[in-house]
Structure 1
C-alpha cells in the first residue's frame, strides 16, 4: 500500500511539473523585451523543469508503475483564466504575466511541500522531491525579485 501512496504523490507532482512547463511556455516572449536579462534564468528554469519531470517519471517507474504524464485540470483552468484575463488587460501585460508566474510558482511550492509532509515518500524520492522544491523556491524568488524591481519603475 505504501508503494501506491508514493506513486500517487509522485504522479500529483508530475501533474504540477507539467503545469509549470506549460505555464512557462505561455510566458515565452512576453517579458523579454522589457527584461532581457531574465531570459537566461527563464531558459534555465524550463530546462530544470523538464529534468524534474524526467526524474519524477523515473521514480514512478522504479516503483513499478506507469506515470500519468499529463497536466492537472486545475492547471489547465488556471492557464485558461490567464488567457481570458490577459485578453481584457489594458496596458502592461508584463506585470500581469509576472503575477501569474509568481502565483503558479507559489502553488507549486505548496504542492511540493504538501507532498513532502504526507510522509508517503521513500528516502530516495524524498531527497529528489526536496531538491525539486528548492529549485521551485529559487524560481519563485527570481520572479518575485523581477516583480519587485518592476514595481519600483
Structure 2
C-alpha cells in the first residue's frame, strides 16, 4: 500500500463529503413543514458531515498529504442539475428529499469503493468504515419517503 494512494483516496472522500455539505445547504427550510419527523435526522446528517470532514482532514495531514478541501466538479454539476430539475418539479419538497437520498446513495458507493480499493492504511480503513456505517444509517432514514407521508 502506497501512502500517496491513501492520501489520494482520502482527498476524494473529502471532496465527496464537501459535496454532501454543499448539497445539504440547498435544502430549504420549508421542506420541514411537510416532513417534520425528518428534520432532527437531517440536522444530525449535517453535523455528522462536518465531523467526517474533520476526520478526513486529520487523516490526510497525519500522512503528510496536502488537503484538497474543495467539492468535486461532478458534485457541482449534480447540484446545478438539481436546481434545474427542482425548478420544474410539481412537488418541490419531495423532489428535494429524493435528491438527499440520491446524494447519500452516491456517498455510500464512494466510501464502499474506497474501502474495497485496498489503498487505505488500517487506521484510515477503520475511520472510513465508521463513516460508511453512519452514511448507511442516514440513508435508511430517508430512503422510504413515501412511507413517511
TM-score, normalising length from structure 2? Answer: 0.96
In structure 2, stretches of 5+ residues that fail to align are none
Q: Find the aligned partners of 1:16 and 1:30 in 2 and give their Cα distance.
A: 26
Tell me what 1:14 maps to. Answer: 14
Per-residue deviation, 1:106: 0.6
Per-residue deviation, 1:65: 1.3
In structure 1, stretches of 5+ residues that fail to align are none
SS in 2 for 1:4: helix
- 8 Å Cα contact 1:30/1:97 also seen in 2: no
Tell me what 1:116 maps to. Answer: 115
Tell me what 1:130 maps to. Answer: 129
TM-score, normalising length from structure 1? Answer: 0.93
Number of equivalent positions: 149
Tell me what 1:2 maps to. Answer: 2
Structure 1 residues 14 and 122: CA distance shift in structure 2, 3 A: same
Q: Find the aligned partners of 1:66 and 1:122 in 2 and give their Cα distance.
A: 17
| Range that drifts further, 77-86 or 37-46 | 37-46
Tell me what 2:43 maps to. Answer: 43
Q: Find the aligned partners of 2:28 and 2:86 in 1 and give their Cα distance.
A: 14
**Structure with more contact order per residue of length (Cα contacts < 8 Å, sep ≥ 6):** 2
Deviations along 1:5-40, one digit per CA (max 9) or x if unpaired, are 000000000000001111111114142010112111
The aligned runs of 1:68-83 (5 Å cut-off) are 68-83=68-83
Q: Find the aligned partners of 1:44 and 1:50 in 2 and give their Cα distance.
A: 10
